[in-house]
Structure 1
Amino acid sequence: MIEELLLAGCDERIAIRPETGANQYHLHPTKYEGLLMRGSCTCGTLTPDGQRSAERFVRDYQAADDASWIRQQTKRMQTLFDGGRGDEFHIYYGPSGSDMMYWPLLMQSMLHPGQTITNIVSCPEELGSGSILAAEGKYYANTNQYGDAVPKGEIVTDSFHVDVQFLPAREVSGHIADRKQAIRDIIAARPGQPIVGNLVFGSKSGIKDDLDIIDEFREGVMWVVDMCQFRTHPALVHELLSKGVMLMVTGSKFYQAPPFCGALLVPKFWTELLMGQPAEHLRDYGRLFTAADAPPDLPQLRSIWPDHANAGLRLRWEIALDEMEAYLAIPQEETDALIRRWSRVVIGRLALSDRFGMMPDMELTNDSIISFTVSAGGRELDYDELKKLFDTLVLGEHPSLNGFKRVFLGQPVRYGKRSFIRLALGSYSIRKLMEPNGFDPYNDLHVVDLIERTAIELFES
Structure 2
Amino acid sequence: MFAHTLTQELLRVLERPDLRVIAGERQIMLDPTLDLPFRVQPGGAIVLGLPAQGQQEETAFFLRHALELAPLLEIAPHRALCAAFCAARTAALFWYLDTGRSDADAPAAWVPQMAAAQVPSATILQQIWSALAPLQPALSLPDGSGPFGALYDALCALWPILGPTESLMATGGDARLAVDPATGLNHYGCSHRPRPWAITFASSTASSLSERGFAGAETARLSLLAGALHGRGENAARTLDGDIQARIAAHFGLEADEGVVLAPSGTDCELYALALAALAPGGRPVSNILLAPEETGSGVPLAAMGCHFANDTALGHSVTRGAPIAGFPTDTLVVNVPMRDAAGHVRPAADVDAETCRLTHEMRAADRHVLLHRLDLSKTGLLAPGLAALEQACAPVGRSEDCPDVVVDACQARLDPLRVRDYLDRGWMVMVTGSKFFTGPPFCGALLLPAGVRRRLDGPHPVPVGLGDYSYRHAWPQGRAVARLPAGHNIGLILRWCAALAEMTAISRIPRAVIHDRLHGFLSAVTSRIMTDPALEILPPVRPDRAPMDNAWDTLPTIICFFVRAPGRDAETFHPLALPDARRLYAWLNTDLSGLIPPDDPDAALASVLCHVGQPVPLAHPGRPGVIVGALRISAGARLVVGEPSHEGMDPTERLRREVRNVGRILDKISLILRHWSQLSTAAPVQTYLPHGWQARAILPA
Shorter chain as normaliser: what TM range? over 0.9
CA contact (8 A) 1:174 1:360 kept: no
CA pair 363-300 structure 1, distance change in 2 beyond 3 A: closer
Asked if 2 retains the 8 angstrom alpha-carbon contact of 1:53 and 1:322, the reply is yes
324 and 159 in structure 1: CA distance in 2 versus 1, 3 angstrom threshold: closer
**Within the alignment, does 1:253 sit opposite 2:414 as a pair?**
no
Look up the match of 1:435: 652
Partner of 2:322: 153
The equivalent position to 1:68 in structure 2, one of 236, 239, 242, is 239
Call closer, same or farther: CA 1:18–1:169 in 2, change over 3 Å.
farther
Question: 1 CA distance for matches of 2:466 and 2:456?
Answer: 22
How far does the alpha carbon of each residue in 1:104-147 deviate from its partner, in whole angstroms, 9 at most, with x for none? 21112222576321000001111023222211211112222222
List alignment gaps of at least 5 residues for structure 2: 1-163, 228-232, 397-402, 545-554, 595-603, 621-627, 681-702
Q: Does 1:373 align with 2:563?
A: yes
Give the unaligned 5+ runs of structure 1: none
Query: Could you give the per-residue CA deviations for residues 403-458 of structure 1, whole angstroms, max 9, x where no partner exists?
Result: x9321110001124333110112211221287353122221112112123323432
The residue correspondences of 1:332-343 to structure 2 (distance < 5 A) are 332-343=512-523
Separation of aligned partners in 2, 1:449 and 1:60: 44
> How do 1:92-103 and structure 2 match up within 5 A?
92-103=261-272
Mapping for residues 238-249 of structure 1, pairs under 5 Å: 238-249=421-432
User: If each structure's helix is expressed as a fraction of its own residues, which one has the higher value?
Assistant: 2
Superposed counterparts of 1:164-243, under 5 Å = 164-177=334-347, 178=349, 179-190=352-363, 191=365, 192-209=367-384, 210-216=386-392, 217-219=394-396, 220-243=403-426
Give the whole-Å Cα distance in 2 for the aligned partners of 1:411 and 1:43: 9
**CA distance in 2: counterparts of 1:426 and 1:361, whole angstroms:** 16
Asked if 2 retains the 8 angstrom alpha-carbon contact of 1:251 and 1:262, the reply is: yes
Q: Distance in 2 between matches of 1:287 and 1:313?
A: 15
1:170 and 1:459, CA in 2 relative to 1: closer, same or farther beyond 3 A? farther
1:277 aligned partner, one-letter code: P
Match for residue 452 of structure 1 among 662, 667, 671: 671
Structure 1 residue 38: deviation in Å?
Answer: 0.7
Amino acid at match of 1:138: C
Shift of 1:265: 0.6
| Aligned position for 1:46 | 209
Who is 2:11 aligned against? Answer: none
Call closer, same or farther: CA 1:119–1:4 in 2, change over 3 Å.
same
> Could you tell me how far apart the structure 2 residues matched to 1:164 and 1:234 are?
29
1:96/1:261 contact within 8 Å kept: yes
Rg comparison, structure with higher value? 2
Name the CA distance, whole Å, in 1 between partners of 2:368 and 2:525: 49
* Structure 2 residue identity aligned to 1:255: F
Q: Is the 8 A contact 1:369 1:425 kept in 2?
A: yes
Name the CA shift for 1:159/1:445 in 2 (closer, same or farther; >3 Å): closer
Partner of 1:405: 609
Identity of aligned residues (%): 26
Question: Does the Cα contact within 8 Å between 1:38 and 1:426 map onto a contact in 2?
Answer: yes
- Separation in structure 1 between the aligned mates of residue 270 and residue 494 of structure 2, nearest angstrom: 20
Letter in 1 for 2:527: I
Say what the alpha-carbon RMSD is for the aligned residues.
Answer: 2.3
Which one has more relative contact order, counting CA pairs under 8 Å at least 6 apart? 1
Correspondences of 1:12-91 after superposition (within 5 Å): 12-61=175-224, 62=227, 63-64=233-234, 65-82=236-253, 86-87=255-256, 89-91=258-260
The CA distance in 2 between the partners of 1:345 and 1:70, in whole Å, is 41
Cα distance in 1 for partners of 2:661, 2:454 equals 50
User: 2:332 matched to 1:162?
Assistant: yes
Distance 1:36 1:372, change over 3 A: same
Structure-2 change in CA distance of 1:329 and 1:36 (3 Å): same
- Assess if the C-alpha contact under 8 Å between 1:231 and 1:366 holds in 2: no
**After superposition, what is the alpha-carbon deviation per residue over 1:231-270, rounded to whole angstroms, capped at 9, x for unaligned?**
1111111111111111100001111111111100110121
